[in-house]
Amino acid sequence: MPTRINTRRRSHPDTPDTAAAFRTLVTLPPGIQHDTVRERIVEAWLPMADRLAGRFRNRGESTEDLRQVAALGLVKAVDRYDPGRGNAFESYAVPTITGEIKRHFRDHMWTLHVPRRVQELRNRVRVAGQELAQTLPGRRPTVAELAAHACLSEEDVRAGLEALESFSALSLDAELPGGGGDGWALGDVLGSADPALDVVVDREAVKPRLAALPEREREILYLRFFGDMTQSRIAEEFGISQMHVSRLISRCCRRIREQVLEDAA
């Protein structure tokens, strides 16, 4: 004889009385009859799971996805519930489903990695801000007011406020706030590594050795490496052969290199 679900409502219009069905479920061995009773219990409680999912709407996730996550939490609650403990299924299912939804947000919705503790601080600060907004019309609550209301330290409140801005990342192509439509994007003002930093130490090391060179050799090196002048052009400038310029450059570079290595040693 198939198990019937009692449609008598309990604490909420969407919470059916499934106590008898659960007592039957725990006595059934794995098989078709067990799965049938389990499915009927899940179907009976789906409206309640949908209601819990609705509490998290408008937070960047689609309603359908939230309903699926809530349904998954409901199935877990049905499978883990033990009617022998004496507590009502609703009191066990609600935190299980809510926890599954929150875990979904934590694992899938943050575009930046934020520690779980900071995520919890974010939620507490957000709730405190919403509650204080009802009593502080016309202005935002201060850090001290949020800390007192949420029973947190001001440092924790600041961490929570920063996390409020970390739920989603801003595209590098996004226009700068206050840009006035001039076309400047966030990526246009981000700094980058200066390749010249890699040779700062080397430049400082050779500076005194360059200064000690004879004036002609020093000027030849300057024209070649800083003036980007060819050896032929330098040879014309000084009235010497291009081969002579090449030998002078090689000899000066070798001498400076040896002196710098000696200084380092």
Tokens describing residue 189: 């003002």
C-alpha distances out from residue 184 to 171, 172, 175, 221, Å: 13, 10, 6, 41
Q: List phi, psi (to 5°) of 17.
A: -90, 105
Give the number of other Cβ atoms within 10 Å of residue 28's Cβ: 15
- 6-109 and 197-264, same CATH topology: no
pLDDT at 7: 44
pLDDT at 26: 87
Tokens describing residue 55: 């509490």
pLDDT at 165: 64
What is the mean pLDDT of each successive set of 10 residues along the chain, which is 265 residues long? 48 78 89 92 92 81 86 92 86 90 72 69 84 81 90 89 66 60 64 70 82 90 88 91 92 88 79
CA distance 69 to 62: 11
Given CATH 3.40.710.10, say whether it is the number of domain 116-170: no
The count of residues in the chain is: 265
Helix, strand or coil, per DSSP, at residue 258 = helix
Cβ within 8 Å of residue 256, ≥6 positions away: 206, 209, 210, 213
pLDDT at 1: 46
Give the number of other Cβ atoms within 10 Å of residue 22's Cβ: 18
Prediction pTM value: 0.44
Given CATH 3.30.70.80, say whether it is the number of domain 197-264: no
pLDDT at 8: 44
CA distance 172 to 186: 5
DSSP 118-151: HHHHHHHHHHHHHHHHTTSTTSPPPHHHHHHHHT
The ranges assigned to domains in the chain are: 6-109, 116-170, 197-264
pLDDT at 236: 92
Architecture of domain 6-109: Orthogonal Bundle (1.10)
